[in-house]
């Protein structure tokens, strides 16, 4: 079945540091890929998405590129802020009929210190 | 913000008692989902619905049932709660399946003692 593997955390960075959170996937067909973010005590929010190979999703300074050849969707940000402290989830949904569910990675907790 | 509410937000119950969690949406979205979130597991799908009275099982459906009698409401029932069902439960909605974004509710923290 489909699966998502993301780097284990927690990740602790200083403010203005560069962020990379690795995400690789296994899926049949042509999945759509997502990054969700969960702030403390809240539900998940969509951060960005990409629906086909070589697409780049971007939002709030975060970027991720859909790499079919390496089955990856790594999240990057050039300069993190304390307000970026949260848990980040990589997820996919497969194309085709009956593709109703998101498959999530286990999440990576990011802490940004001043 | 998408109009999704969950009730209750917190609940403590005893082993063996029935529990019902409610998800209510004001977006008129067709698809609704129930997930549980546990440390080290991310989010796992319990059940989903693709229309009124149309539901199907997800990855971790054992011990759970659902019902959807109206577009706006999706109920999750634990017929006889067990300690292994202590978790945070999230409802989500989407207009379409597949590549469409899912919008999540604020969650319900359930503790089974």
For residue B59, name the pLDDT band (cuts at 50, 70, 90): confident
**Facing residue for A104 by CB, picked from B42, B48, B50:** B42
Chain B hits for A34, Cβ within 8 Å: 101
State the alpha helices, DSSP H only, in A5-113: none
Would you call A100 and B56 a contact, using CB atoms and an 8 Å cutoff? yes
Contact list, B33 vs chain A (CB under 8 Å): 100-101
Chain B partners within 8 Å of A46 (Cβ): 101-103
**Alpha carbon distance A41, B91 (integer Å):** 15
Query: Which residues from chain B sit within 8 angstroms of residue A36, using beta carbons?
Result: 104
Q: What is the pLDDT of residues B70-100, one digit of tens each?
A: 999 999 999 999 999 999 999 999 988 766 7
Is the CB of residue A85 less than 8 Å away from at least one CB of chain B? Answer: no
Which residue in B has a C-alpha nearest to residue A48's C-alpha?
B101
Number of Cβ pairs < 8 A linking chain A and chain B: 56
Of B50, B103, B104, the CB nearest to A100: B50
What is the C-alpha to C-alpha distance for residues A25 and A15, in angstroms, rounded to an integer?
29
Which segments of chain B are extended strands (E)?
4-7, 10-13, 19-25, 31-38, 42-51, 54-57, 64-70, 73-78, 87-94, 103-104, 108-112
Residue A100 forms contact with B (CB below 8 Å): yes
CB contact B34 to A (< 8 Å): no
Flag whether residue B43 sits within 8 Å of chain A, measured between CB atoms. yes
Task: Tell me the pLDDT tens digit for each residue of A54-102.
Answer: 999 999 999 999 999 999 999 999 999 999 999 999 999 865 555 567 8
Q: What token pair was written down for A73?
A: 């969707």
Q: What is the torsion angle, in degrees rounded to the nearest 10, for the CA atoms of residue B2, residue A43, residue B6 and residue A50?
A: 50
Query: Does the beta carbon of A102 lie under 8 angstroms from any beta carbon of chain B?
Result: yes
User: Hey, are the CB atoms on B98 and A32 less than 8 Å from each other?
Assistant: yes
pLDDT at A96: 53
- Does B1 score more than 70 pLDDT? no
What confidence score (pLDDT) does residue B90 get? 96
Query: Are B79 and B13 in contact, with CB atoms under 8 Å apart?
Result: no
Task: Give residue A13's pLDDT band: very low, low, confident or very high (50, 70, 90).
Answer: very high
């Amino acid at each position: 079945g489909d699966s998502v593997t993301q780097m284990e955390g927690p990740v602790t960075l200083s403010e203005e540091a560069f962020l990379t959170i690795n995400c690789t996937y296994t899926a049949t067909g042509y999945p759509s890929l997502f990054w969700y973010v969960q702030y403390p005590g809240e539900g998940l929010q969509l951060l960005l998405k990409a629906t086909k190979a070589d697409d780049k999703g971007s939002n709030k300074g975060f970027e991720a590129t859909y790499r079919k050849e390496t089955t990856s969707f790594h999240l990057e940000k050039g300069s993190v802020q304390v307000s970026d402290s949260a848990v980040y989830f990589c997820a996919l949904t497969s194309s085709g009929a009956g593709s109703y569910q998101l498959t999530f990675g286990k999440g990576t907790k990011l802490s940004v210190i001043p | 913000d998408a109009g999704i509410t969950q009730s209750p937000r917190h609940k403590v119950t005893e082993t063996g008692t029935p529990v019902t969690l409610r998800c209510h949406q004001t977006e008129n979205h067709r698809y609704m989902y129930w997930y549980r979130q546990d440390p080290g597991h991310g989010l796992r799908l319990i059940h989903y619905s693709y229309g009124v009275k149309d539901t199907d099982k997800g990855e971790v459906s054992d011990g759970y049932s659902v019902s959807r009698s109206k577009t706006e409401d999706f109920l999750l029932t634990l017929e006889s709660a067990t300690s292994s069902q202590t978790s945070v439960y999230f409802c989500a909605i989407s207009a379409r399946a597949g590549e469409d974004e899912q919008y999540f509710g604020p969650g319900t923290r359930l503790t089974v003692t």
